[in-house]
Amino acid sequence: MAHRAYAAPMHALALSLAILAAPLTAQAVESEAVESPRARVTLVAEAASVAPGQSFRLALRQVLAPGWHSYWINPGDAGEAPSLDLDLRDGGQAGALAFPAPQRIPYGPLVNFGYLGEAVFPLTVTPPADLPPGRLYTIEGTARWLVCADVCIPEEGAFRLDLPVEAAARPDPAAAELFRQAEAALPRPSPFAVRLGFEGAKGAIELSGPGLAPGAVKEAFFFPEAMGVIDNTRPQALALRDGAMVLSLARGVSPVPSPLAGVVAMTDAAGVRSAYAVSAEPGAMPALPAGMPLWQVALLAALGGLVLNLMPCVFPVLAMKAMGLARLSGASRRAVRAEALAYVAGVVIAFLAIGGALLGLRAAGMAAGWGFQFTSPVFVAGMAWLMLAVGLNLSGVFAVGGPAMGGGARWGSLGTGVLAVAVATPCTAPFMAAALGAAMAMPPAGAIAVFGAMGLGMALPHLLLAGFPALTRLLPRPGAWMESLRQLLAFPMYGAAAWLAWVVSVQAGPDGLVPVLAGALLVGFGAWALGVAQASGRRRWIGRGLAGAALLGALALLPGLSTAQAPAMAEAPGEAWSEARLAALRAQGRPVFVNLTAAWCITCRVNERVALETAATRAAFEREGVTVLTGDWTRGDPAITALLRAQGREGVPLYLFYPAGAAAPLVLPQILTERMVIDAVAAGRDAARPAA
């Protein structure tokens, strides 16, 4: 990040004006100031004289030049809180500095917690009870503080106060207003009951008590005392109901202490800011502020399911769909309706099963998102063998009932629907991302309803057939061409099997291909044995037995895949994504493009080929100094899962562009074009450029 050079004379002038505007007058008991072009710092006493054993207050007072800031106990994403070490040479005790409630101070891609203008940090001092009157009570201290603008500069200074000792302490009227304002700026004890908790990357804090009602609070923010507990850059959504206020939190990188203390600052409808010191033991996460209503989420889910039919992941299943539709041509209305409804049922059941599995895994504390099953090479190998078996069936090696397998049984249509969803889950279609993110934040019943709506959306074409069977008249009439079509459609299934075998090689390395290919050989043998038995019509039990034995042999190969080590994603562009690397690049003020992808995500691979790895895109990245970070979710990764959820997503692809100095990323669409990426980089550059 380029730093502006501030001229010292201008700073001195600005600081002098700030000091003249400060409330403390020259008559107050104040130490000699430590001054720089950035800050003027003094030690101030509220008493003109002190009495033996009677406590009084001091304050470390900072008056900062415009544009400079100092820090709270938790400085936020970077910084250091001020400190003061007192030497009471005549004895006595000194308390700790009290910190005013902080403000959020955006600083490039970071957010700091601290102070602008003036900050006063009071503390209590108690002289010894045997201190004799008629002498001076000497206080010496050394303070250190950090001030930042475009650069950060550590400063320090030594202070001394000599206060007369009298039989009764005498207050200093000149300092009374300063200490009154300092007291008002401190967080007050909370009158509210507090609950807080985290679930995965999300969390919430709830305050309940009198005075909290819809419209009573305009904005609020929770400042934890522990660093790194929350993501300071994320907004905290506010929800109010009678007697309670809830703020959403985004989990940070540090463990949550027990108890977790902090400050909740809130601004009421009249613009008055109040701050309360809170502390609570982490527990069950309070209900988050309500997002979209269920009907809106369900509508997005249905649209996403409908678009999912056009995503690259579903192309292999189009063979089964085409064969099923072709067989419906010329059938009776009753048969058309039954077959279509069976397919719809299969799709919806599969979506409900996936939704239930996701909710169950989340409840068990596991990081699982959309397409989670494809992070397992065991599942991918099994799907590769299933695609091979479907292809062999379409090629006529063996026969199984159902539209997908060459027959007309309703069970076959239901199975085709289930298989279509299983193959489609590597993809996340437009509208699906927002729906999935909202669904996983809902109660279980609402989440299951959203998954059901997604299934209905994907099955909508067959729903239309069920409602209007006469539409089948638009299909070609059945004939000999259907056999040729059936055999032709086997080849997309073989292609899907080959693609899935390649995915296993990415997940488990080249050695992972050995059990996949061996299993494919056994599946092929079993299909041939079953087909020979069906063709001969005699001793079919022998063929079924051989097919069953071959299947068991293939399944026995799977356990070795679960323990295989995943190699690095060698062909991924750029550097490997990590939270630390992203934070370091953003702290340097460099633009960053984050690509969250997986080998089994066909949409991801297509986007990379047509939009991310083109000569024009690479030239734009190089021209603007963009660093590309690639997060590989092929075998799952809790850190990547947390990033997905922080962006309200449940699966890949996800594309984030962080312009230089921006506090939040630009989220690009899931279907990319080269122009979209180049325009996003240009927009980020223009937004980061300072105004003339």
The predicted-structure confidence for 605-649, as pLDDT tens digits, reads as follows 888 889 999 999 999 999 999 999 999 888 777 778 777 766 767
Low-confidence ranges of the chain (pLDDT < 50): 1-27, 402-408, 569-570, 690-692
Q: Judge contact between 129 and 165, C-beta under 8 A.
A: no
pLDDT for res 259: 92
pLDDT for res 398: 86
Report which secondary-structure segment, H or E, holds 154.
strand 152-164
Q: If you ran DSSP here, which 8-state letter would residue 101 be given?
A: -
Task: For strands 193-199 and 273-280, give the pairing.
Answer: unpaired
- From 298, 291, 61, 20, select the one nearest 161 (Cα to Cα): 61
pLDDT for res 493: 84
Helix axes 490-508, 481-488, angle to 10 degrees: 10
Report which secondary-structure segment, H or E, holds 117.
none
Residue 264, C-beta contacts closer than 8 angstroms, at least 6 positions apart: 190, 205, 207, 220, 221, 222, 223, 247, 275, 276, 278
pLDDT for res 23: 41
pLDDT for res 403: 41
pLDDT for res 663: 61
pLDDT for res 292: 67
pLDDT for res 10: 42
pTM > 0.85: yes or no? no
Side chain identity, residue 460: L
Could you give the count of Cα atoms lying within 13 Å of 171 in the half-sphere of its Cβ?
9
Distance of CA 262 to the CA centre of its chain: 23
pLDDT for res 688: 54
Could you give the count of Cα atoms lying within 13 Å of 421 in the half-sphere of its Cβ?
29
